[in-house]
Structure 1
Amino acid sequence: MVDYPHPSHLLCSFASSPDLWLRHLALEHPMCPVDAVSRLAMVKDSQLRCKALSHRNCAPEVLREEARSMNTTLRLAVASNPLCPGDLLEMLTQDPETEIRAAVAANTAAVPELLRRLSGDNQTAVLSAVAGNPGTPGEALARLACSKADAVLESLGTNRACPAALLNKLADFQQIGACIAVAGNPSTPVTVLSRLLERGCGIVHKMEEAFGRTYLHYFSPPVVLLLQRLAANQASPPEILEELLSVAGFRVREPVAANPGCPFAILNELSVATDSKTRRGVAANPVSPQELRRKLATDPEPGVRLELARNEHCDPSVVALLARDPEGSVRLAAVENEECPQAAVALLLTDNWHTVRLKALVHRACTVAMVLDAASQVCSSAFGREVTPILADLAHHPDFPPFLRTMIVHHKGGSSIGYQGLRRPDALCR
C-alpha cells in the first residue's frame, strides 16, 4: 500500500469526476495539479474554463493559446492569472476591452514598466487598477494622485506601497472616499490616522448637534465608514481605538474587537458584549487570548463560533471542539482550518455533510490509515442509507478497498448515488 502525495491524487480524482461541482471543488484548491488544471481549462463549461485559466497552476502553453481567444471572458481569466507570463501580460495591455487591460493592471505579476505605461491609459477602470497595484512605480502613483476621478484616488489610498507623503496629501482631500481609503491603509502614518480621527469626530459632533445624539443609531453617513476603517486598521494605536469606542460606540465595536492591536483589557470587555457582532470580532482577532477563544467556542450564536473556526491562529484544541459543532457551517470552517488536528479530521471524514467529508479528505492532516479507518467505521456502524454516500466520497482515495467500490453506483452523466446494501459489513474489520 502506497501513501500517495497528499492531496494531489485526490484533487485529480475530483477533477476527473463527472460531477461538475466536484471539478469546481478541485479548482478551488491551490494544490490542484498542473495536468488537472490544464485539462479543465479546455472543457466546454465556460465557468470551469475561466476558473482553471485563472488558477496559478495552469500550464503556460494553455494560457498562451487562450490569450488569443475571441472570447473576452477567457482572455480576462488569463489576464487575471497571478502567474501569467510577462509576454502575455504585455500583449494583453493592447487588448481593445477595458476590463482586460484593467485586469492586467491589477495583476501583481505585472512588471513596473508595464504598469508605468498603463498609467497613461484613458480609461478610469484601468487607472484605478494601476493606482491600487503595489508594484506601480512611485512617479506613476504621484501622477495618479492628480486625477479628478474618485475611483482612482480611492484605489491609490488603499495601496500599501503608496508613499507616506501621498497618503498624507490624500487625507486632506475633500472627497470622503479617498479619506476612507487612507484610513484603512496599514501603511498610513499614525500622525495621519490621528488627523483623520479628529476630522471624523468633528463631523460626528456636528451631526449630533444638528440631529441629536442618537443620529448614528439610525443612519449610516460616510463618516461612519471612515471611523470603522480606522477601527479595523492594524496601524491604529490603542489610544485611537479607545477614542473611537467613546465617540462611535456600537458602530465600531466589531472592527475594534477584530483589530490585532486591540489591548487585551478591551478584548476581555468586548468578549461578553450583548451584541453578537462584537463577539464575532473578538473570535476573529488573531491575537485574542486562548481562554477567550475556549469560552467563545460554546457561544450560543453560530456566527461567533463560525468566525472562531475560521481563525487561522486558533489553538488546535479549540478547533477540535468546533469540529463537533451542531452547525454544519462551523464544522466546515473547522476542517478548512489548517490547524484542525488529525483526530478532528478523522471524525469529519464521516460527517453527514457532503462538503465537510470532501474537505476532510483533502486536508493536509488526512492519511491513508484514517481513510481506511473511516470506511471500517461506516461498514460496522448503523449509518443506514448514509453508508453509500460516505463510501462514495472516501472512494476518491486510491487506496480505498476495491471490493467496497462495487457497492457504489454512479448513474451516467452525474453523481447520483444508489444504495445496494452491504453484503460484507464486517469485511474491513477482519
Structure 2
Amino acid sequence: MKVSERRNHAAHGVLSRAEWIELAADPSSQVRKAVAGREDAMPDALIALATDETKSVREVVVENPTCPGDALVKLVCDPDPYISREAVQHPNTTSQTRAWVAISGHVHARRALAQLEDLDATPSARLTEDDDWHVREELAWATPHAVIVAQLLRDAHPRVRGSLALNPLTTDNQRRTLAQDPNAETRAILASSDRNPDDVYFELARDKSTNVRFWLTVHGTNRPLMKLLMKDPSDMVANTARNSLRRPPRSDVVIIDR
C-alpha cells in the first residue's frame, strides 16, 4: 500500500486495534500524523506517538483535544518548549502531573505551569521558590491565590514584584507598596498597568525615574494625568503626554477627569 493510501486509511478508516498500533509505528511521519490527529484515536496509539522521533508528530498529538493523560505526562517533558507548554496546559493533564511539573527540572514546563490561572495552591506555593525568576514572574501575573500575591510582593527580583501589578488580585494597598519599591523597573511595570487607583498614578508622576514617568503616558485617557505629565522635565515624557491629549477621546472609554 502506498504512503498516500496508508495516510488516507489512517485519517479516515475504521481501524482495528492491530491497525492503530501498526499505523502509529508506520515509517512515514505523514501516516503517523494522521493517526495523531484523530480525536477517536485509540489511547495506546497516542501514548506511543507522544515519544515519536518527529517533532511535528508530537505537536499533532498534544494538539489533539482527546489526548489522554498518560500521553500528556510524557509530553510535559518534551524538549520542544511549545509542545511542553501545550501539554502542561492541556485540559486533560491531571493535577498530579502538574504537581510533579512544579518540582521537575523542566523549566519550560514550569513556566507554562505558572501561567495557569486555575493552578492549585500547592504547586503554586512550590513555584514561589523556583530558582528561575522567569517562572516566578509568570506566576506573579497569573496566580489566582491572594496568599501567593502577598508572598511574591517580597520576592528578590524586581520583575517578579512588578508583574504583580498585572494581576487583578493585587489590592490597591499592595499597589501603593509597589509604588514605593526601591527598584525603578518594578515601578515602571506598575506604571504601565491599567489596574491602579488614581493616587498611585499621580504618585508615580513625581517618580525620580524618567522611564517610570514615561510608562504613565500609555494611559492617554486619564487627561488630568496627561496634563500633569506635559509639564515633565523630560521632553520625551512631556511630548508623549501632549500627543496623547491631542488624540480625540474614544467613545468606548470613560475619561477620568478632575
TM-score between both structures, scaled by the size of structure 1: 0.40
Say whether 1:181 aligns with 2:218.
no
Q: In the aligned structure 1, how far is the partner of 2:136 from the partner of 2:208?
A: 30
Q: 1:365-408, CA deviations, whole angstroms, 9 ceiling, x for partnerless residues?
A: xxxxxxxxxxxxxxxxxxxxxxxxxxxxxxxxxxxxxxxxxxxx
Unaligned residue ranges in structure 2 (runs of 5+): 1-11, 13-35, 252-258
What's the counterpart of residue 39 of structure 1?
71
Q: In the aligned structure 2, how far is the partner of 1:56 from the partner of 1:158?
A: 31
C-alpha displacement of 1:149 = 0.8
Structure 1 segments of 4 or more deviating over 4 A?
9-13, 15-19
C-alpha displacement of 1:89 = 0.6
Q: In the aligned structure 2, how far is the partner of 1:77 from the partner of 1:142?
A: 29
What's the counterpart of residue 135 of structure 2?
100
Amino acid at match of 2:125: E
The answer to whether the Cα contact below 8 Å between 1:92 and 1:101 also exists between their aligned partners in 2 is: yes
**Structure with bigger gyration radius:** 1
Q: How does 1:42-81 map to 2 (within 5 A)?
A: 42-43=74-75, 45-47=78-80, 48-55=82-89, 57=91, 58-81=93-116
C-alpha displacement of 1:34 = 5.9
What's the counterpart of residue 241 of structure 1?
247
Q: 1:251-277, CA deviations, whole angstroms, 9 ceiling, x for partnerless residues?
A: xxxxxxxxx939xxxxxxxxxxxxxxx
Distance change in 2, residues 1:26/1:149 (3 Å): farther
Say whether 1:261 aligns with 2:250.
yes
Q: In the aligned structure 1, how far is the partner of 2:38 from the partner of 2:188?
A: 39
TM-score between both structures, scaled by the size of structure 2: 0.63
What's the counterpart of residue 191 of structure 2?
157
Q: How does 1:215-294 map to 2 (within 5 A)?
A: 222-223=236-237, 227=240, 240-241=246-247, 261=250
Distance change in 2, residues 1:117/1:11 (3 Å): farther
What's the counterpart of residue 297 of structure 1?
none
Aligned pair partner of 1:132 in 149, 160, 166: 166
Say whether 1:146 aligns with 2:135.
no
Q: 1:321-377, CA deviations, whole angstroms, 9 ceiling, x for partnerless residues?
A: xxxxxxxxxxxxxxxxxxxxxxxxxxxxxxxxxxxxxxxxxxxxxxxxxxxxxxxxx
The answer to whether the Cα contact below 8 Å between 2:141 and 2:166 also exists between their aligned partners in 1 is: yes
Q: 1:72-104, CA deviations, whole angstroms, 9 ceiling, x for partnerless residues?
A: 343233222333222211222233443333322
Distance change in 2, residues 1:96/1:46 (3 Å): same
Equivalent residues, number: 205
Q: Percent identity?
A: 16
Q: In the aligned structure 1, how far is the partner of 2:194 from the partner of 2:171?
A: 13
Q: In the aligned structure 1, how far is the partner of 2:193 from the partner of 2:90?
A: 23
Distance change in 2, residues 1:134/1:115 (3 Å): same
Please provide the CA RMSD for this pair: 3.7
C-alpha displacement of 1:153 = 0.4
